Chain A
Amino acid sequence: MDAVSKPALAFESAFTRRSIIASYFLVIFLALPLWWKTTSIERQALPVSRVYAATGRELAFPIHVALDTRNCEVGTDTIVQEVRHHVENNGEFKQNGLSVEVSSATATANDYQVVLRPGTRDPIVDGRKVTVEVAPEHAGVAALQLADTLATLLTPYTSLRSSQAERVVTYSPRYRLAFTLLNEDAAAGNAALSWDVQNALAAQLSPLLERLSVLHNFTIESQVQYHGPLAFEPRALQVGEQIEHGLTPGDLTVFVNSAEWTLSSSVSNDPVLHFVAFIPSSKHSPLRIVDSNGLPTSSNAFILPQWGGIIIHNPQSTGIVPTLAGRPLDTIFATFRQQLSALLGVPELPPHVHARTRGVAGVTDWQLDALVRRRAAENAASAQDTLQSIVRLVAQIEDMPVGEDVKGDVQDALAALDQAYSTAPSSSTEALTFASKAQSVASRAFFNPGMLALLYFPTEHKWAVYAPLFASVTAPLLASLIREVLAWKKERKAKARGPQPVDSQRPKAE
């Protein structure tokens, strides 16, 4: 085919053509911000380096122990030296982030005071003071004995059995305590129709809750149930003349019949601790807890780890009790109190140490301080873990949106964590407050629902959606652009070679 010359047309001038192409690109260029806005996934930069910098950091609690040896013949300086030596050799303190400083200075309010006295009685705790009596014949090992006592008092958790550790509930700033009077079958006799829960709570539990208020807040609720059947049949025991019924350790683990008992509702996110007073029906009365050999034990209460406590109440006389009150109820609530403190991780005093008064709800300052330190350390570590998980997850999944709120939460958690570290030396309670805040903010960031938006839309699909339009639209646009650039270069070369008559048209293949 041969091309034939034709008249030059105004709309075919290079200028017209180039301005047309330029106008296409102009609109696309102007639309770019909108494009960007509608397709970009918000991914705020997380303070990754700060998160990793916090790794392995532990709360440090300096402990001042004032040694009072006035009543002792031993030289103050020597015994201080010796105790220091033993404390430094004891790894337990370091493990728990405690730096113990022993001195003979007089104790201030927040210091622990150790009074050394000749005698043979067991150590006695009173407030932050412990009185240790040393028999004259054991004066040589007094320092070692002292250091050991200090270790058991200041770090009571290292000696905890794992079963005891497992039943402690995870920390929460607020717990709901649900007390239930559960009659197995009230219509069949042997039941309590109501209980004087208000007074029992005031008498037995309120002091403890007050004492623990530095750690937790509590919401209290109670109910009475009249039909709470067991999911299994307790085994019958012949005890003397009587038939009794027994719960084996196996039965205890399945004791809670969650299908039939209405114990909790999901109305709030606070963890619930259940305390159930179970009154067996006349058919199963009396009900005892038996050991693995099938012999009745003296105990009538047990703890379900992380869940709560149950006490089996066999009333003195069978029949319907209109209101459970007075001594039997006090006994029940006293047990509930012990179960609660065990569930919350209040350490027990070492067996050979006695408290002078059990007046402060049975929790001495030593115990409370240890609990606060432990909860603070726990929360700080958990917050660190959560933050690291977030950072790892975000790095792993490229399409995960990270909103301003997530970033803010992570920053807040880091700030709270820093504050926890910095306040730990001066106040373990404040450290706990900050550490617990860090933990809750960090987990809020972790569970932010906005991060899940695109988890299920793989990248390949995106191309399948974009390609049909954009591949076919951009091809002619780019081709023309390249052609124009080439033509323009050629023109410039031609111009450089020599002045030629201006021809608005491109050279044609003739």
Chain B
Amino acid sequence: MRLSVKSFLCSLCLGTLAVARLSEEFNEELHLRPLPDGKLAARFSFSTLLKGATPRHPETLGVEDESQLYTLFPLALGQILREYAVTELHLTLNAGNWNYDRWGYPDEPGVGTGAELWAWMGEGGTVTVDSRWRGLRNALAGLFCASLGSLDEQRTTSPVLTFQPEGSLPNGNASYQLRHATLPSEHVCTENLTPFLKLLPCKSLSGIASLLNPHKLFDADWHGLGVHVRYLESAGVEVRLAFQAVFDPVRAASDKRRDWSLSAVFDRRIERVCPVARSSVIRVRLPQNEVYAIIPSPSTMDKTYATYIVQEVGKPLDVAIIRPEETLFEYLIEPQTHISVHRTLNGASQHAGQLALTITNNHDIQLQTGYLETMPWLLQFYLHTLHAHIDGMPRDDLVKLISYIPPLPHVQPALLQAVLTLPPKTTLWLTMDVVKPFLAYTEHPPDAQRGWDLPPAVFVPFASQNGSETDSDPQLHAVLSDVRSTRMYTPVLLVDLATPDFSMPYNVIIMSCTLIALIFGMVFNLLTRQFVVVRVGEQSS
């Protein structure tokens, strides 16, 4: 034990020395915050910065690439980024529906159910953006053991309004393209977490990452992992691996109280630091207007946050919040976001239906929201039936269609981008008729009766432009500055398509062909044979 403490101290001083010299930098952070419904949101963020690096230019794809010599940067990911000359990349794999009304905005905006991948890539060179996108999908599928390979052209769109680059794009004059695809039926599991952890310098063996215990993570009400690569002009290429989960301390606790601790939530404590982490921070959002105790004493603390610098506090570290006066927690729910969105697919018929959305503005000011649907051709819109209502009154003027790319079976999905105007404190009803196509029997999946998952719609609320009156009101101003382009994902939909009988191919061939041959043969006979008049009756035979 004494030895380990000594080596730890040694590692600490030497570690900081070493890290200072590197051209790579690794920071880890855990953000814990209580949610209004008693749950606990945890967000792990591990970012590695490759200082001074630039993304590969697509025109250099044909020539010998520079050697990739990395220390902290994950080599497996770096290879993929350079092989396909990807400038910015975002991959999220989530399970469950993020409940905006109860939980508010997530720390990581990408919370759409299933897999979502989007990338900005430069144009030029001999290899097209589309073929690099295909390669990128397959490479990431291999890296994360996810079926990202099926994010094919039938699911790929380019919704540039909603998915703006989060970093910078080098050489402002060169043109860049966005590719975006979602696969709502993909479920994140241990098999995806293991390769995710392998990309971390300290894996899940030391530092904050050691809290990533699959048993607890996958038991959470909501969980998702994300890989975000972006280029920052002033810094370099940054890879950020994020894991986000919503835990329910009330469910886990026998006494139905909200008290939590790291060991209760993750079933682990932080035993030792990651030697290469430049910073390693746990930030805990403190309960407001409540009596609570937080142990151990944090490194720094203000009204809203308690911060632990993992290297500085004693180990094993087990942060806990206790509310001694609370006996039973009761829910207090009011919408936590500026707008609330619900999307349903109505109609029992297997060949038509209606897509219905209700969008509620929870504020006293008029808001606008971008509305994005990337719909596979398994559901085809009748755009002429897109209508908006408020309290039963048609208000089509509130919908402004930005762009629409119709779907092409087996080729491309539909892309619908619109801007909706939401009057204060009202609910907008949006309806649109849809048709469901009929698939050949070879196109159905093995469990055809289950139906097909449809990707979430994305909403980006933003403040209305006519803001002359809002300038005067400081409260509204605060709201507006808060309404930043955060993407909100609706839950996914399940559509059931009519199925043929899968045992019928030969029967159908035989029966249809027989009918055709019968009519053909009889027509042929009628046209080529001759009439005879015969005597029938007693004389014959």
Contact = CB atoms under 8 A, between A and B. Distances in A.
B69 A193 contact: no
A449 B525 CA distance: 48
Nearest to B537: A1
A326 B49 CA distance: 26
Interface in A303-329: 318-323
Contacts of A17: 528, 530
Interface string B63-90: 0110111111111100110010000000
B137 to A, nearest CB: 13
Interface stretch (B197-205, B222-230, B299-307): B197-205
B14 A12 contact: no
A226 B513 contact: no
A188 interface: yes
Contacts of B532: 3-4, 6, 508
B22 A194 contact: yes
Contacts of A468: 509-510, 513-514, 517
Interface in B482-541: 506, 509-510, 513-514, 516-518, 520-521, 524-525, 527-528, 530-536, 539-541
A298 interface: no
Interface stretch (A34-42, A245-253, A265-273, A346-354): A265-273
Interface in B1-25: 3-4, 7-8, 10-11, 14-15, 17-19, 21-22
B289 to A, nearest CB: 40
A326 to B, nearest CB: 15
Interface residues of B, number: 69
A2 B21 contact: no
A198 B71 CA distance: 12
A262 interface: yes
Given A468-B517, A472-B513, A266 B142 contact: yes
Contacts of B536: 1
Contacts of B509: 464-465, 468-469
B18 A320 contact: yes
Interface in B255-284: 272-276
Interface in A222-266: 222-227, 260, 262, 264-266
Contacts of A506: 530
A480 interface: yes
A267 B135 CA distance: 9
A474 B204 CA distance: 72
Q: Most chain-B CB neighbours within 10 Å: which of A6, A187, A225?
A: A187
Nearest to B142: A266
Given A226-B275, A323-B21, A3 B527 contact: no
Contacts of B15: 193, 320, 322
Given A320-B11, A468-B517, A473-B520, A267 B83 contact: yes
B68 A187 contact: no
B143 interface: yes
B14 A188 contact: no
A477 interface: yes
Contact of B67 (A6, A221, A282, A321): A221
Nearest to A218: B67
Contacts of B521: 472-473, 475-476
Contacts of B506: 464-465
Contacts of B68: 220-222
Nearest to A174: B64
A480 B529 CA distance: 9
B83 A220 contact: no
Contact of B531 (A12, A222, A469): A12
Q: Most chain-B CB neighbours within 10 Å: which of A20, A321, A468, A506?
A: A468
B540 A2 contact: yes
Contact of A188 (B272, B540, B541): B272
Interface string B311-324: 00000000000000
A6 B531 contact: yes
Nearest to B524: A476
A21 B528 contact: yes
B206 interface: yes
Contacts of B531: 6, 9, 12
A465 B508 CA distance: 10
A480 B534 contact: no
Contact of B14 (A187, A226, A320, A473): A320
Given A188-B4, A268-B83, A320-B275, 16 more contacts: A2-B535, A2-B539, A20-B527, A185-B205, A186-B275, A189-B8, A193-B276, A195-B71, A221-B79, A222-B70, A223-B73, A224-B70, A224-B201, A260-B203, A264-B76, A469-B509
